[in-house]
């Protein structure tokens, strides 16, 4: 009898938790859409925001998000753990273009020239993508270089993608990798520095 009561109580708690999550996602999606309109960010249909994404779009820059993309900025929506909310930030002249049906969890994307992400790209928790190293005034050799990620790419959690990198269609980048050089299409790559370990 006690086990039955505990199961019923557990079912009620789970239903309440799921309802809270749905309400939270609805509110954060509406709020992020308002912020994108204020910042002049282009976005497509059916984009969902679980938690509060941080946007910063400099003048003379571009951020464009395709259809049916998901941004999770709270561990409530990704139980692998999110260290910080999603961040999309451009400097003057920068460009972030994201295709359709992409997913991001606590992902930071920063651009001074160009970051282009194709369709059906999935990024695990805490991925960092940037076309710059920063502090170019101190280190003039560290000039920004474009980053391009193809279609159907899977990027594991805690991956860092550095400036000037291209990742080909259909490739997988293993968790914790630091990508400093181009990755061809249709491969599995991992490590620090990231290298091809297998052809798909």
Catalytically active residues are 135
SS3 of 157-185: CCCEECCCCEECCCCEECCCCEECCCECC
Distance CA 15, CA 40 (A): 37
């Amino acid at each position: 009898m006690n086990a039955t009561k505990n199961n019923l109580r557990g079912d009620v708690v789970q239903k309440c938790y799921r309802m809270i999550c749905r309400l939270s996602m609805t509110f954060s999606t509406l709020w992020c859409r308002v912020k994108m309109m204020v910042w002049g960010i282009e976005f497509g249909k059916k984009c969902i925001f679980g938690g509060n994404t941080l946007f910063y779009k400099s003048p003379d820059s571009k951020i464009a998000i395709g259809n049916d993309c998901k941004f999770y900025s709270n561990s409530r929506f990704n139980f692998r753990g999110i260290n910080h909310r999603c961040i999309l930030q451009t400097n003057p002249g920068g460009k972030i273009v994201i295709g359709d049906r992409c997913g991001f969890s606590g992902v930071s994307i920063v651009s001074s020239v160009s970051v282009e992400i194709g369709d059906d790209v999935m990024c695990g928790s805490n991925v960092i993508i940037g076309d710059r190293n920063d502090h170019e005034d101190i280190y003039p050799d560290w000039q920004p270089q474009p980053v391009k990620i193809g279609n159907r790419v899977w990027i594991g959690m805690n991956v860092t993608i550095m400036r000037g990198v291209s990742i080909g269609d259909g490739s997988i980048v293993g968790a914790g990798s630091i990508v400093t050089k181009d990755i061809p299409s249709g491969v599995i790559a991992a490590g620090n520095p990231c290298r091809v370990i297998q052809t798909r």
